[in-house]
Amino acid sequence: MSSPAHKRPSGSGGGVLPTSTVPNGVGGRGGRGVLPRGRQMQKTFNNIKITILCGFITILVLRGTIGVVNLGSSNADAVNQNIIGETNRILAEIRSDNRLGFSSRDRTEMNPNETYSLGPKITDWDSQRKVWLEQNPEFPSTVNGKARILLLHGIEIVYNMAHLDKELAGYWAKLPMIRRLMLSHPDVEWIWWTDSDALFTDILFQIPLVRYENHNLVIHGYPDLLFDHKSWIALNTRSFLLRNCQWSLDLLDAWAPMGPKGVIRNEAGKVLTGYLKGRPAFEADDQSALIYLLLSQKDTWMEKAFVEIQYYLHGFWEGKR
């Protein structure tokens, strides 16, 4: 969109140059610089026509240029806008976490030589969950009093703003929450994490769970940015699916050690910045840590991870990044 052109002042404003009067007694030659009224009007009319013609040509050129650019790069621009939005979103969350997290007076500094754990190590969750389901075959149908969202899809919502672990404040708070949900709801096959500011805009959309039959983690991302460029925004942890199984518990255990606030998170941030392309120098964030984990331990994790590119599990309002 072009901006309106600025016009020069005209008429009797302050921009008019002073004129001198012809003294009495000077003959007809005193007015040699003044054109006859007819020729002056003709000259003004010609100038107006030239101005209109130039403006018309300019509009045609701009319209053609903008149209060609939009036609050839609309898809690329959309991807670029999403990537820019992701970068701004992560940086904004990091700044807000510094304001909303626990103060230094409320916590003790964790020993950087100790490996952080989400809780007691669990190694047989699949078998425990199987036994529970066999002992409670009617559980899903008997739970009628809980709040439901999108009953059509059978999705139960758990909304929580509390920090379950003061060491994992801010964007890391999702890890202990997901683990707690997995252990307390063995009846649930999939957990869909979304940030608290998420807004569902398509209530008829069905998540194609059949497609993920052989996978335990489903997350939207860009495979080329992930594998070819090792970009720190190749995946988006604002919204992802995690299967309730032993593999997922092991992933959370491997994911969490970079999260404790203080020295551990700061030092981990240096590792992530050195490993991931384009990442600014700041403390470790959960998204960069997951990308680092999937790439540095590819044989362990990537086989069961599904990078979804056919639809968005997340989005943002244009102009509200």
Residue-level pLDDT at 270: 96
- What number of other Cβ atoms are within 10 A of residue 105's Cβ? 5
Question: Same domain, yes or no, for 173 and 189?
Answer: yes
Question: Same domain, yes or no, for 275 and 174?
Answer: yes
Range of the domain at 118: 84-308
- Count of structural domains, the chain: 2
The band of 273, judged by pLDDT with boundaries at 50, 70 and 90, is: very high
Residue 18 lies in a domain: no
Residue 150 lies in a domain: yes
User: Which range has the worst mean pLDDT, 15-24, 194-203, 290-299?
Assistant: 15-24
Question: Same domain, yes or no, for 191 and 63?
Answer: no
Question: Same domain, yes or no, for 98 and 138?
Answer: yes
Residue-level pLDDT at 257: 93
Q: Where are the alpha helices (DSSP H) in the chain?
A: 37-100, 125-135, 139-142, 174-184, 223, 246-255, 263-275, 286-296, 298-301
**Type of residue at 173:** A
Question: Same domain, yes or no, for 197 and 257?
Answer: yes
Residue 22 lies in a domain: no
What tokens does 226 get?
């992930």
Question: Same domain, yes or no, for 100 and 70?
Answer: no
Question: Same domain, yes or no, for 266 and 165?
Answer: yes
Give me the mean pLDDT over the 287-300 stretch: 97
Q: Answer with the one of 51, 78, 105 that is the final residue of a domain.
A: 78
Residue-level pLDDT at 80: 65
Residue 17 lies in a domain: no
Q: Where are the alpha helices (DSSP H) in 101-124?
A: none
The CA-based dihedral angle spanning residues 89, 95, 99, 102, taken in that order and rounded to the nearest 10 degrees: 90
| Higher-scoring residue by pLDDT: 227, 167 | 227
Instruction: With beta carbons less than 8 A apart as the criterion, state whether 218 and 212 touch.
Output: yes
Residue 316 lies in a domain: no
